[in-house]
Amino acid sequence: MSKFNKLQLINIFSALGVQLINPDENLLETIETEHHYNAWFTADSVLHAIKAIGVMLNEKDLGLWLDRYNLDENKPEKKVGLILAGNIPLVGFHDILCVLVTGNYALIKASSQDARLIKGILALLTTIEPHFKGQYSFVERLTGFDAVIATGSNNTSRYFEYYFGKVPSIIRKNRSSIAVLRGDETAEQLYQLGHDIFDYFGLGCRNVSKLLVPEGYNFNFFFESIEVYNNIINHNKYNNNYFYNKSIYLVNSDKHLDNNFLLLKEDIRLASPLGVLYFEYYDDLNAVKLKLTEDSDRIQCVVSAIPLEINNQVVDFGQSQQPALWDYADGVDTMQFLTTL
């Protein structure tokens, strides 16, 4: 199935990781100009995404990851259709990586929001190992596929399930991420939580869109600890979303908290609008665990220092947008899916 053994794959992709952590002039130019094509993809956001992938592709983790699977070199190649999201930079890279390391062929339908970045990173990979030039192609419409991995909304997932129902598939829907606070977090922990909230302007499914806080929680210290992120309001699109939601709350007399760049609103829903963070109070951690368990199929990850022992991935403050190779979207093992086709 795979032309390369595990050691070769580790060497190839860790070399890519090194290049992503230390971008050359061409990649730096892409990083600096991407906002001309997508205003959300600022230089800081793109650089953050590229370096996060670079860190992920380290020799140790690649070895631990690949050791979990049987990469049968004699297994016939399958054509895997990939419908990629484009909400944050390079969000679809991990799916492509999984297809390539398992020796399959990637038919990539990239999001128009993110196509240039994906193509640039893959071009970089092929300079390290030219064999991969023949292992993927970009397509406008998926045809001739043996399996599909499609990422979309709850609405598009119904279409995907109907259209791709006759082949093996992974269909991903909307998910949100939550932070559970105990009330005694330090300023540093809450500052790190700011990364989980504000990285990529909150556009990712791994961005925290809701807080669960103990009864009587005082938000003053939370606001003080995240004040350093106030520059986000200077981004035009974020600013528009923030003021749009603020005006609605004011017109409707909806109770909310406001620090001039983030709105906090008590709400039972998981997914908050941009510029807004929902919160709910709790009085018992067992009730929190029950709530998280009930909503597990709508949660991508949980940020907390509390040992929650739940089905969803729990990460420390500041780590939601730093996934490891084995932190699969929706908790579905993409490699297991691909190696057993």
Instruction: Tell me the pLDDT tens digit for each residue of 22-74.
Output: 999 999 999 999 999 999 999 999 999 999 999 999 999 999 999 999 997 77
User: pLDDT confidence of 278, banded at 50, 70, 90?
Assistant: very high
Q: What angle do CA 164, 166, 172 make, to 5 degrees?
A: 35
The dihedral of CA 109, 110, 116, 121: what is its sign? Answer: negative
For residue 199, the model assigns a pLDDT of 98
Using a pLDDT cut of 90, give the percent of the chain over it.
91
Residue 168 phi/psi, 5-degree rounding, is -55, 135
| Selection from 296, 247, 243, 320 nearest residue 274 by Cα | 243
For residue 75, the model assigns a pLDDT of 84
Query: Which of 71-75, 174-178, 267-271, 332-336 has the lowest average pLDDT?
Result: 71-75
pLDDT tens digit string along 82-121? Answer: 999 999 999 999 999 999 999 999 999 999 989 999 999 9
The first and second tokens of residue 281, run together, are 């109070």
pLDDT tens digit string along 266-276? Answer: 999 999 999 99
Rounded-to-integer distance, Cα 27 and Cα 191, Å: 30
User: pLDDT confidence of 1, banded at 50, 70, 90?
Assistant: low
Q: Is the pLDDT of residue 288 over 60?
A: yes
What three-state secondary structure class fits 318? Answer: coil
For residue 74, the model assigns a pLDDT of 78
For residue 168, the model assigns a pLDDT of 97
Average pLDDT over residues 182-195: 98
For residue 266, the model assigns a pLDDT of 98
For residue 47, the model assigns a pLDDT of 97
Q: Is the pLDDT of residue 151 over 80?
A: yes
pLDDT tens digit string along 120-142? Answer: 999 999 999 999 999 999 999 99
- What's this model's pTM, rounded to 2 decimal places? 0.95
DSSP per-residue codes, 276-309? EEEEEEES-HHHHHHHHHHTGGGEEEEE-SS---
| Selection from 263, 152, 283, 267 nearest residue 205 by Cα | 152
